[in-house]
Structure 1
Amino acid sequence: MTDSEITELMKNSPQQGHRALFDEYYSYVYAISVNILRGPASQEDIEECVIDAFASVIKKFDISSVTALKPFIGTVAKNKAISMRRSLTAKAGIIISIDSEEFREPASDECIDRNAENSVMTELLLQRIKELGEPDSTIIIQKYFYERNAKEIGRMIGMKHATVRMRCARAVKKLRSLLEDSDKEE
């Protein structure tokens, strides 16, 4: 079933549309949840995350503003899984006393500084990517973070691959300009 068929079904019969949405995208949401929650989560936690993601998609879904379902659903699923992972790791966190033999000092101050600097740079980069707006931010993230090609991205967001390539090139130039402006501000 295509996105437009699901959207039309959701307009005419929300319950059937929600069921079709679930049937079509369950495997996709499940795969995202498993990839992010692998390790700290049980099977029940993963299934709960999938259900929470679909509940959130149905609650936040606006037929007039969402043009492509897959990126929207993927983003919601990713955010739910990340949130659950944080929650699970915080609950499972073991507090170690400084006096304990298990407590280890960091190997090097340089590593901590470098990690902090990389974290700040990554945050700035993601912030500037968001400033590009849609669909350019999605194109950049899919291309450079998930290593997808123009055809795959085009299918995801409903554009021709040539258009995706052209928008990507323009977005990279604009992103470079935004990052240079950030350097000048500091």
Structure 2
Amino acid sequence: MEDNKLLRLLHKDPNAGMEQLMNQYTGLVYAVVKSKLDDSYYVSSDIENCVADVFSKFYAELSDYDPKISSIKTYLCVIARNQAINVSKRRSLEGGISLDDEQSLLQVADDVIIDSELAEDELRREVIKAVEDLGEPDSSIIFRKFYYGESSKDIAKAVGLTVSNVDTRTHRALNKLRKLFGGNEV
């Protein structure tokens, strides 16, 4: 079902809408969560509970969701990744594994290709679109700094700003992007 139809159904009949959402995206959400929690330390019930939490969080944040910014698929993938990371962090704080081991596991999990390469490609496109939507000069600053690895000094010369201004704009733009994709502001 297309996003706009699914959103209408979610608003008109939340139960039917959530059922359709789960039927349509459970496999994808499961794959994202499993890629982050795929370890002998996590049992299938941990993964299933995390998947259920993803859909609960989506429903709780439904009023915050903006279809102009990202597709439902991308939004769910971001929530799934964040929920899985939170589960992993909680587990390490409970003393299950050391934080160093967890970081290593998360790094390995990040390198694992999730079940749907389309989801990763779409997420990449959404990030690029979000950066472009920041407008000039912020989008140029972000692309130059993080895609091309240019220094703040070189960027400042290229866009006609001070180094301090480039750093401030970078910080603010990253906060906008983090907020947009469900992360915490710094």
TM-score range, shorter chain: 0.5 to 0.7
8 Å contact kept, 2:3–2:72: yes
1:11 Cα deviation (Å)? 2.2
- Aligned CA-pair RMSD: 4.0
The share of aligned pairs that are identical, in percent, is 21
1:87 aligns with 2:90: yes
TM score, norm. by length of structure 2: 0.54
Q: Give the secondary structure class of the aligned counterpart of 1:32.
A: helix
Looking at structure 2, the residues matched to 45 and 84 of structure 1 have their Cα atoms a distance apart, in angstroms, of: 8
TM score, norm. by length of structure 1: 0.54
User: In structure 1, which of residues 172, 181, 184 is the aligned counterpart of residue 143 of structure 2?
Assistant: 172
User: Which residue does the alignment assign to 2:67?
Assistant: 66
CA distance 1:64–1:88, change in 2 (3 Å): closer
User: Which residue does the alignment assign to 2:23?
Assistant: 23
Q: Give the counterpart letter for 1:153 in structure 2.
A: E
User: Which residue does the alignment assign to 2:122?
Assistant: 153
- Segments of structure 1 that go 5 or more residues without pairing to the other structure are 96-145, 158-162
1:64 Cα deviation (Å)? 6.5
Looking at structure 1, the residues matched to 97 and 132 of structure 2 have their Cα atoms a distance apart, in angstroms, of: 47
Q: Give the secondary structure class of the aligned counterpart of 1:9.
A: helix
- Structure with the greater relative contact order (CA < 8 A, sep ≥ 6): 1 or 2? 2
Q: Which has the larger radius of gyration?
A: 1
CA distance 1:76–1:154, change in 2 (3 Å): closer
CA distance 1:64–1:73, change in 2 (3 Å): closer
Q: Give the counterpart letter for 2:31 in structure 1.
A: A
1:77 Cα deviation (Å)? 0.8
Looking at structure 1, the residues matched to 21 and 96 of structure 2 have their Cα atoms a distance apart, in angstroms, of: 36
User: Which residue does the alignment assign to 2:48?
Assistant: 47
- Segments of structure 2 that go 5 or more residues without pairing to the other structure are 99-113, 134-138, 157-162, 168-186
| Count of residue pairs brought into register by the alignment | 128
Q: Give the counterpart letter for 1:10 in structure 2.
A: L
